[in-house]
Amino acid sequence: MNAQSATRKTFRREGEDKRREDLIAATLECVAERGLAGATVREIAQRADVTAGLIRYYFPTKDDLIGAAYRAVMNRMTVQASDALQNAADDPRSRLQAFVTANLGAPIMDPHNLSLWAGFIALVHADPAMATAHRDGYLGFRDELEILIREALRAAGKPAERIHTRRHAIAINAIIDGLWLEGCLAGDIFEDGELAETGVAAIEAVLGISLQAEGGAQ
Amino acid sequence: MNAQSATRKTFRREGEDKRREDLIAATLECVAERGLAGATVREIAQRADVTAGLIRYYFPTKDDLIGAAYRAVMNRMTVQASDALQNAADDPRSRLQAFVTANLGAPIMDPHNLSLWAGFIALVHADPAMATAHRDGYLGFRDELEILIREALRAAGKPAERIHTRRHAIAINAIIDGLWLEGCLAGDIFEDGELAETGVAAIEAVLGISLQAEGGAQ
DNA sequence: AGAGTATTTATACGCTTGCATAATTAGAGC
DNA sequence: GCTCTAATTATGCAAGCGTATAAATACTCT
């Protein structure tokens, strides 16, 4: 059987979508374990149980794969946050609280996510296409947040004009980002749920309302 | 003159400190221009007008140089923020405001700084030495902030016990970080000084005091 | 001025990287 | 079951990387 030479690797032909997903997943594993520098074409291929050449068949260049992986992560985080909203109560204040809490806990607040995100941000500066991709993501997030804020303010009987909600969205977005960052970088020096609590409290202070539907000031 | 062969590069012997600084500066230029990946030993050496081998004479390994560069950036930003405090008024509330404003304006809030910072953060996950280096920097910043907060609260006649100031420091640190991030990434979509104003307002809300010395509630 | 040394240059090595390309093969369609 | 094609493997290349090391040289000290 093995008389002659090393036998050629057997393989299955997968659907295009499945392969792309697998390759992206493998990329994320590599980045998670050894950082962006550890995500080499060969390492990714091995992780996906595929030979290196195949990567180029689906992604013209390595940067394309990395870019796809970045978008996948950002999208995943967005979806996870939105899921939390689906399961939240009806009251807009509860919904805002749920959104914040979701963003400041597992699995969104995770060192791996930060690694990937930071690696990308570092590239943004050199690559304009990546820059606009990121900006769109940021503005999308902020817009979603602004809607939640407006509805929470209305539910509390507070004025919610655009001029105010914009500023509030900027500030609250900063609070979420900043705490997310702290938690990803050094989650172990905070108690469980401390960052989420801190975030909710800070946001309540900024908006001047309670996010507990029960105790909400009229 | 040039008959025989390429003449050997002439050089000057610089002091150890000067050389280290030059090499770090060259490293930062490289990172700023083409990202961490662009900061190769050869590129750095060329930028410092030195041959590559010399780098190893001062830094045993490239990672050591990168680490030193990271600490230099963080230190530079810290110093710039502290400078703003030197020139601030005596009132603790004014000092806190000056600190925040300094961190949310030029030259600290700069895309280059973000590029550098993000590139290093991406490494933190894989490199434990870098991780502790970063944690120390973060805690140092937060401690400085906590002192400013405590004094501002006292000046406003508010309780300033450790339990509260810790939480406040975490939240306000997040506000500063988050706004700094937004400004670095997309400074052009904000008006001049908008982020600093937003930050100060949010912090006032969180602390429940005014940072304007004049209008401060007793 | 001459000797000694720390600093700097120069060169090369081994490795890894991304990318290209030719050879193979699994699976769909007739 | 045969054929045809698209998916996959295998192999190789040129470039760039960090690092090691030996030779050269600028400066210090006497």
What's the rounded mean pLDDT across residues A180-201?
93
**What pLDDT does residue A218 have?**
42
Tell whether A133 lies on the interface with B, counting CB pairs under 8 A.
no
Distances (CA, A) of A36 to A114, A119, A192, B27: 11, 6, 29, 19
What string of DSSP letters covers B22-60?
HHHHHHHHHHHHHTGGG--HHHHHHHTTS-HHHHHHHSS
Phi, psi of B204 (to 5 degrees): -60, -40
What are the residue ranges of CATH 1.10.357.10 in chain B? Answer: 71-207
Q: 3-state class of A48 per DSSP?
A: coil
C-alpha span between B171 and A104 (Å, rounded): 13
Window 47-86 of A: residues touching B by CB (8 A cutoff) are none
Chain B partners within 8 Å of A169 (Cβ): none
Q: Tell me if the bond preceding B60 is cis, omega within 30° of 0.
A: no
Q: On chain D, which bases lie within 7 A of the protein's CB atoms?
A: 7-12, 16-22, 24-27
What string of DSSP letters covers B120-186?
HHHHHTT-HHHHHHHHHHHHHHHHHHHHHHHHHHHHTT----HHHHHHHHHHHHHHHHHHHHHHHHH
| Lowest-confidence region among A18-22, A202-206, B70-74 | B70-74
The superfamily CATH assigns to domain A70-207 is Tetracycline Repressor, domain 2 (1.10.357.10)
Phi, psi of A109 (to 5 degrees): -85, 90
Q: Count CB atoms within 10 A of the CB of residue A181.
A: 21
Chain A partners within 8 Å of B119 (Cβ): 118-119, 122
What's the rounded mean pLDDT across residues A140-165?
93
What are the residue ranges of CATH 1.10.10.60 in chain B? Answer: 14-60
For residue A172, the chain B residue with the least C-alpha distance is: B175
Q: What's the CATH fold of domain B71-207?
A: Tetracycline Repressor; domain 2 (1.10.357)
How close does chain B come to A174, measured CA to CA in Å? 4
The answer on pLDDT for B211 being more than 90 is yes
C-alpha span between B46 and B56 (Å, rounded): 14
Tell whether A147 lies on the interface with B, counting CB pairs under 8 A.
no
How close does chain A come to B118, measured CA to CA in Å? 5
C-alpha span between A28 and A44 (Å, rounded): 9
Residues in chain A: 218
Task: Take residue B148 and report the two structure tokens written for it.
Answer: 């400013």
| Lowest-confidence region among A148-152, B88-92, B119-123, B178-182 | B119-123
Tell whether B167 lies on the interface with A, counting CB pairs under 8 A.
yes
Q: At B43, is the pLDDT very low, low, confident or very high (cuts 50, 70, 90)? A: very high
- CA within 13 Å, CB half, A211: 25
Q: At A16, is the pLDDT very low, low, confident or very high (cuts 50, 70, 90)? A: very high
The overall average pLDDT reported for chain A is 89
Q: At B16, is the pLDDT very low, low, confident or very high (cuts 50, 70, 90)? A: very high
> A189 or A195: whose pLDDT is higher?
A195
Options 3.90.470.10, 1.10.10.60, 1.20.1630.10, 2.60.120.20; which CATH number does A14-60 get? 1.10.10.60
Q: 3-state class of A148 per DSSP?
A: helix
The answer on pLDDT for A92 being more than 70 is yes
The answer on pLDDT for B128 being more than 80 is no
C-alpha span between B104 and B98 (Å, rounded): 10
Distances (CA, A) of A66 to A102, A207, B118: 26, 38, 16
C-alpha span between B185 and B179 (Å, rounded): 10
Tell whether A193 lies on the interface with B, counting CB pairs under 8 A.
no
The answer on pLDDT for B1 being more than 70 is no
